[in-house]
Structure 1
Amino acid sequence: MKGFIIALQFLTRLPTPVIVVDDAAFARSMRWFPAAGLVIGALVAGAAWAGGLADSRLGALAALIVWVGVTGALHLDGLSDLADASGAAHKAEGGDRERLLAVLADPHVGSFGVVAIVLQLLSKLMLLHMLVEAHVFLPLVLVPFAARIGPLVWTWWLMPLHQGLAARFRSAIGPIELTVWTAALAAASWFYPAFLVTPLLVLWWGWQVRRMIGGISGDSHGAGIELIETGLLLTLVVTAPWIPGP
């Protein structure tokens, strides 16, 4: 339970009990990331449903505001940093990897990062609107949950890029944690087959990160979570049982 509270403290802005956390306990909290995702998903789905009682557009907006607010835009920051880094490297002659890593370490947000955040928020807003229109609410609970299985896989699979956040998590993840959450994802996919695409999205992003920067970092964890959430929303839209309008 302590690990779950630590995971909530790290991944959300929700009020939690004050507890003492050392590096080892913080690293172990990663095992609870998918469970924290369920809490985020429940709040997002609840906001979508409540807003949707008035209008589907309001439901989508409420869900997006809660999604960004409860996570403190934590993963959007990683997405913007990686977008800036990849954009700067692409502009450099030969796609300079050193340039990419230098920009990735820069805390400032550039034009590529701003564009990435805007496109990500617009994508989520549009997809949420379509899901609210189709009265698809329960699967929304599972989207943040499934996306946060990704960091467990990437931590176990990829070497940390540097001695930062990703390196602290590496020692805490093993086959047991992966098996437990894979089984939970399989159970969720029994009811909502759209989530069968999750492993493909997770493996795709891990391959992209390894090819692009050679290892996993906190920013690439955050970017991966954001992109997988959007990919899952799109899959739900494609497979949604659409209800004809009046």
Structure 2
Amino acid sequence: MKPVILALQFMTRLPLPQVRADAADFAAAMRWFPLAGLVVGAAVWAGVWLGALTDPWVGALLGVGAWAAITGALHLDGLGDVADAAGAGHRDPGRVSEVLADPHIGSFGVVVIALQIAAKLVLLFLLAQRDGDWVLPAIACAARIGPLVWTLILPPLHEGLGSRFAAATRWRDVAIWAVLGAIMACFVPALAMAVPVIWLWGPWVRSRLGGISGDSHGAGIETTETALLLAWVTLS
């Protein structure tokens, strides 16, 4: 139960009781990130459904707001940092770690975050318009299987949280969630797109950043969510 609470505390801003935990407990919480995704997706679904009672655009706006609120914009922050680092590293690979460590956001990050919010707004509108908002918990869950895979196939960019996650994550954890994902894909075929998106994110991160970090986990989650939203809209 402790790893579940820690996973929810890390991935959401839900008011939860504080628990005593050590580094091993916190690292083991990664195994439950997909469960936290179900909670995130349920909150976004509620926002879209409530707003769509007035208009699909209102539903999309409330959905995007709920997405940012329940996650504390954690993954958007990671997406912006990765965009800045990849942009800077294009000319000078040695600056990647420096940019990732910089708390300020640059022009690449601003543009990519704006595009991401716009993409989710439009895609949530299309979901609401087609009464497809019920797929959101499954999409958010599937996207958070990614960190389990990336932490196993990529070296940590630096010592810390990434290396602790790698020590606590096992392929059998990925297999369990993959089975659940396959079951969900029987009802939502678009979820199958998570497999190539999650897998391709790994080589891109390795080539552009050199390894996995908290920022690239968050950016990967955002990228996968948008890809799955687009896949559902395209295939439905």
**What range describes the TM-score normalised by the shorter chain of this pair?**
over 0.9
What is the correspondence of 1:1-246 to structure 2 with a 5 Å cutoff? 1-90=1-90, 95-240=91-236
Q: TM-score, normalization: structure 2? A: 0.98
Give unmatched runs, 5+ long, in structure 1: 241-246
Question: Post-superposition shift, 1:96?
Answer: 1.8
Amino acid at match of 1:132: A
Indicate the SS of the match to 2:4: helix
Bigger CA radius of gyration? 1
Matching residue of 1:243: none
Question: Post-superposition shift, 1:14?
Answer: 0.3
> 2 CA distance for matches of 1:164 and 1:74?
18
Moved over 4 A (4+): none
Amino acid at match of 1:163: E
Question: Post-superposition shift, 1:100?
Answer: 2.0
Provide Cα deviations, 1:20-55, integer angstroms capped at 9, x if missing partner.
Answer: 121000000000000000001011111111111110
Question: Post-superposition shift, 1:232?
Answer: 0.5
**Is the 8 Å Cα contact of residues 76 and 117 (structure 1) preserved in structure 2?**
yes
Indicate the SS of the match to 1:171: helix
Question: Post-superposition shift, 1:101?
Answer: 2.1
Matching residue of 1:244: none
Give unmatched runs, 5+ long, in structure 2: none
Amino acid at match of 1:87: G
| Number of equivalences | 236
Q: TM-score, normalization: structure 1? A: 0.94
Question: Post-superposition shift, 1:115?
Answer: 0.9
